[in-house]
């Protein structure tokens, strides 16, 4: 994998390109992108450090590995128009719902495909990159790709049948946690903490709590118990959250997406 090309340059593609360039895995001069809005593309290229291409033909002529980062509804037309040009290349899909099985009948048999589900925290190097287990990349090529994406956060291989639920947890989960940040921030504001400071305190608390669980491997219930002193303030708050149905609300949220 020497030259990486992006079809589309939205927020997620920008995060991936910026993270890879920053990591030094691939130099900016070897990263290319094409998007119809050329003025915006050139501004992003100047800011991030990749090469803006004036046409799809220029992009596919330059890149050996291509990231499909356009809107999902555009993908089928892109594949139809560029089937031959994609032959022999590695095609990386980051579009929701576009897994290996969906690409297989639409691409040349020489095109190697890998579906990856990133999430928005990849923009700050703390994302989760879900690699679909089913793929047609060469083994060495796939390992190189996983190493490259590790610059953006945690890389996990997921069986095809679990990509939906895993993607729901990591892709939708940030929005759920943002609601928690906003709600706890409002509580701080209610009792006099300036809003910006309240958000900063809550966000750092969530970041630290998550890091503590990841590094210790402790069950979340154990970590919760460690904060709850007998007859203390925290256990009263936990009891209130239980009465309000916090756990059931999160389960219902996931059920609503998966149904």
Which residue reads 């915006």 in tokens? 40
What is the Cα–Cα distance from 56 to 71, expressed in whole angstroms? 15
Which SS3 state, helix, strand or coil, does residue 157 take?
strand
User: Is 69 known to sit in a ligand binding site?
Assistant: yes
Which SS3 state, helix, strand or coil, does residue 199 take?
helix
User: Is 181 known to sit in a ligand binding site?
Assistant: no
User: Is 146 known to sit in a ligand binding site?
Assistant: no
User: Is 70 known to sit in a ligand binding site?
Assistant: yes
Helix axes 220-227, 195-216, angle to 10 degrees: 130
User: Is 226 known to sit in a ligand binding site?
Assistant: no
User: Is 9 known to sit in a ligand binding site?
Assistant: yes
User: Is 1 known to sit in a ligand binding site?
Assistant: no
User: Is 7 known to sit in a ligand binding site?
Assistant: yes
Q: What is the residue-wise DSSP string for 49-97?
A: --EE-SSHHHHHHH-SEEEE-S-GGGHHHHHHHTHHHHTTSEEEE-STT
Residue list, annotated binding site for NADP(+): 7-12, 69-72
Residue list, annotated binding site: 7-12, 69-72
């Amino acid at each position: 994998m020497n030259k990486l090309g992006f079809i589309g340059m939205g927020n997620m593609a920008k995060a991936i390109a910026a993270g890879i360039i920053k990591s030094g895995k691939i130099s900016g001069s070897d990263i290319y992108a094409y998007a119809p809005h050329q003025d915006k593309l050139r501004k992003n290229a100047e800011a991030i450090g990749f090469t803006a291409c004036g046409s799809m033909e220029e992009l596919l002529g330059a890149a050996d590995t291509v990231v499909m980062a356009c809107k999902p509804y555009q993908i089928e037309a892109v594949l139809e128009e560029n089937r031959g040009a994609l032959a022999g290349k590695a095609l990386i899909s980051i579009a929701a719902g576009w897994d290996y099985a969906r690409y297989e009948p639409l691409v040349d048999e020489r095109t190697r495909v890998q579906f990856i589900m990133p999430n928005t925290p990849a923009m700050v190097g703390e994302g989760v990159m879900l690699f679909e287990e089913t793929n047609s990349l060469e083994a060495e090529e796939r390992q190189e790709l996983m190493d490259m994406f590790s610059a953006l956060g945690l890389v996990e291989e997921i069986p095809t049948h679990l990509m939906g639920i895993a993607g729901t947890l990591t892709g939708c989960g940030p929005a759920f946690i943002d609601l928690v940040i906003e709600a706890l921030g409002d509580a701080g504001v209610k009792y006099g903490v300036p809003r910006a400071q309240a958000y900063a305190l809550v966000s750092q608390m969530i970041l630290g709590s998550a890091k503590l669980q990841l590094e210790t491997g402790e069950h979340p219930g154990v970590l919760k118990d460690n904060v709850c002193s007998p007859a203390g303030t925290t256990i009263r708050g936990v009891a209130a959250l239980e009465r309000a149905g916090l756990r059931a609300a999160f389960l219902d949220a996931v059920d609503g997406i998966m149904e």
